Amino acid sequence: MPISNENIIVADDLTISYDLHRERKKLIALQDINLEIKKGEFVVLVGPSGCGKTSFINAVSGLIPKSGGSVKVRGEEVTAPGPDRAMVFQDYALLPWRTVESNIRLPYELQNLGISEEEKKQRVKNCLELVDLAGFEKSFPYELSGGMKQRVGIARALATNPDILLADEPFAAIDAMTREAMQAEMERIVMETGQTCVFITHSIDEAILLGDRVVVISYRPGKIKEIVNIDFPRPRMNNSEVKISKTYAELRDHIWNLVKDEAMQTTRGE
Amino acid sequence: MAKATEQIQYETDDPNRIQDVGWTFKEVWRRTRGFVVTSVNLIIFFILWEIVTTYGNINSLFLPKASAMFQELWVGMTTRAPEGAVFSGSILDHFLHSFTNLMTGLAIAMAIGIPGGLLMGGNKYVESILSPYVWALASLPRIALVPLFILFLGFTTTMQVTIIVISAVFPIVINAWAGVKTTEKSLLAAAKVFGANRVQLYYKVVLPYTLPFIISGIQQGIGRGLIGVVIAELFGGSNGLGYLIQRSADTFNTAMTFAVLLLLIVMSLSLINFTRWLEAKVAPWRNVNHL
Ligand SMILES: Nc1ncnc2c1ncn2[C@@H]1O[C@H](COP(=O)(O)OP(=O)(O)OP(=O)(O)O)[C@@H](O)[C@H]1O
Ligand SMILES: [Mg+2]
């Protein structure tokens, strides 16, 4: 599905800060973020560790309050999480007392999607196959490896077929090979369903391969440093032309330099 | 890179992935080791005890023979007091009295403590109002309250149960409270994102997370409750194991005293092991033994 012209997520001078109670200070994690995301768009956020990427998608999901500006989803101010926005958590956030299958079913128990028991079963099964975890339905999270847990988190987010997918480094703990396969799946799903995706990654290659736009965020306070448009035709994942093209190398260099400057500041602690 | 996805087909249902371990000698030993070692240990202990008391020059008033203790325990547990007797010499009668009281007390303590603790963890007004009283009473040595309760309630079963409740309720409250408070924020966030309302947040995340805390609260409650039982009966009353200890010591029947002490140990350990088992059962993720 092509990207529509309709804005689905709009951040307007969004500012997010955290109270540091110990020091009676306030840490501004994100400052004056202006970002319009169109329906069906794949937006990738990159930036050094601690720059506020997670904070941004938490604000879009409605998990944390904003301290200035606004985030709107479909024109409505975000105040709480909603069923239209699913999330893959950086720290997996699986319920340890539930099996893999039951964790993926959680959204069905909490939301009334009006789908039959049969279809739920089928969807859970599809999701499990999608993340290559068939056969582990009855395992508990503590019996899985880090990457497997992360894949359960992805399956859970995809289970309800959400309009907006907020993915916080969803492939960080997954090996390079599986990662490539899952990137391809992700691209396919987003193309097929017309989902809007806000995706966080530390991998510049992943950002260029998946994103329609790559948003580079600066370090402390987190501000949008630059937004890079990526115009490769889709599907890109199984297209060997993309990675060897000159544009790809240039984009890679460009984004790398942007992020590097910021990362240097991080290490110098400025 | 063209056909990358086709090549990456992992066999997750490879039949050799999960193998039967089977009953090797090593496996049997691994599972029964603890039990065997403890049994042998205890048998040696009681045999040594028997030898020392038989051949050593020890006054049986201070330390009875192990066999005399077991004899006393066996007789006491297999006979009941005759109908209409005022005092019973049967250990079983006293045991049943104490055990019923303990269970009643624990049940009441749970009925108060679990909802109380959950409420304190869930609502900061309830928490700030109740917490000073909880801490004050929890830090007070419960024995200090016994004379007061005897004054209020006399030498009654109600008094004994009340002391058990007071002893057992605080560890339960405090653990349930702490469980709610320490519920992992990311789990709550996940449930919220996937559509949980306040009620669902409670019984889908907070309660299951808190359950093992509640069970370990009950475990501590059992220990405290047992102290409560014995103290209540030592101070006043004509029933129960505490009373029996008192009376057998007064009548120089040391074998009986030791028999009752042994019974208390067995009872306490059984209950505590039961809660351990229950904890492992409901929260297997908390004792993963590798790493
Ligand atoms: N709950 C919190 N309380 C206080 N400060 C916080 C909190 N959460 C995040 N921060 C601060 O906000 C800043 C941004 O955090 P955030 O988690 O959004 O970073 P991130 O870009 O996702 O980093 P990473 O790539 O390491 O995941 C960090 O400097 C962090 O110290
Ligand atoms: Mg993050």
Q: Which of A15, A18, A20 has most ligand 1 atoms within 8 Å of CB, for mutation?
A: A18
Whose tokens are 């963890």? That residue is B121
DSSP A54-65: HHHHHHHHTSS-
Residue A269 has pLDDT above 60, yes or no: no
Tens digits of residue pLDDT in A101-154? 889 989 888 887 777 888 888 888 888 888 888 788 888 888 888 888 888 998
Domain assignment present for B291? no
CA of A53 to the centre of ligand 2 (A): 6
Shared domain for B230 and B262, answered yes or no, is yes
Task: Give residue B2's pLDDT.
Answer: 40
Domain assignment present for B118? yes
Shared domain for B49 and B134, answered yes or no, is no
- Domain count of the fold of chain B: 2
Mean pLDDT of chain A: 84
Shared domain for B141 and B86, answered yes or no, is yes
Q: What is the CATH number of the domain that holds B97?
A: 1.10.3720.10
**Residue A10 CB–ligand 1 contact under 6 Å:** no
Domain assignment present for B8? no
Shared domain for B43 and B89, answered yes or no, is no
Shared domain for B143 and B269, answered yes or no, is yes
- Parallel, antiparallel or unpaired: strands A7-20 and A25-38: antiparallel
CB-CB contact of B161 with B231 (8 Å): no
Domain assignment present for B170? yes
Shared domain for B30 and B169, answered yes or no, is no
Closest ligand relative to A29 C-alpha:
1
Region A47-70: mean pLDDT is: 89
Shared domain for B254 and B217, answered yes or no, is yes
* Nearest ligand 1 atom to alpha carbon A202: 25
Query: Helix crossing, B124-139 with B157-181: angle to 10°?
Result: 130
* Nearest ligand 1 atom to alpha carbon A51: 21
The tokens for B241 are 């194991």
**Residue A49 CB–ligand 1 contact under 6 Å:** yes
Inspect the interface and report whether the beta carbons of A94 and B205 lie closer than 8 Å: no
Shared domain for B211 and B118, answered yes or no, is yes
CB-CB contact of A40 with A29 (8 Å): no
More confidently predicted of A197 and A145 = A197
Shared domain for B155 and B250, answered yes or no, is yes
Shared domain for B149 and B46, answered yes or no, is no
Inspect the interface and report whether the beta carbons of A237 and B4 lie closer than 8 Å: yes
Q: Which residues of chain B have pLDDT under 70?
A: 1-19, 83-87, 287-291
Task: Give residue A255's pLDDT.
Answer: 85
Tens digits of residue pLDDT in A144-185? 888 888 889 988 998 888 889 999 988 888 888 878 888 888
Domain assignment present for B4? no
Domain assignment present for B16? no
Listed range (A95-104, A200-209, A245-254) with the worst mean pLDDT: A245-254
Task: Give residue B3's pLDDT.
Answer: 39
Among B33, B58, B83, which residue terminates a domain? B58
Task: Give residue B235's pLDDT.
Answer: 79
Give dist(CA B278, CA B211) in Å, integer.
10
**Domains delineated in chain A:** 40-65+75-84+162-270 (3.40.50.300), 94-161 (no CATH)
Shared domain for B41 and B163, answered yes or no, is no
Among B8, B37, B58, which residue terminates a domain? B58
Q: Which backbone phi and psi does B115 adopt, to 5 degrees? A: -60, -35
Task: Give residue B169's pLDDT.
Answer: 93
Instruction: Give the range of the structural domain holding residue B45, as residue numbers without chain letter.
Output: 25-58
Domain assignment present for B13? no
Inspect the interface and report whether the beta carbons of A181 and B5 lie closer than 8 Å: yes
Shared domain for B170 and B148, answered yes or no, is yes
Tens digits of residue pLDDT in A228-251? 888 888 788 777 777 778 887 888
Give dist(CA B291, CA B272) in Å, integer.
26
Q: Which backbone phi and psi does A69 adopt, to 5 degrees? A: 70, -160
Give me the interface pTM, i.e. the ipTM. Answer: 0.85
Distances (CA, A) of B186 to A89, A108, A125, B270: 8, 19, 25, 37
The pTM assigned to this predicted structure is: 0.80
Task: Give residue B7's pLDDT.
Answer: 42
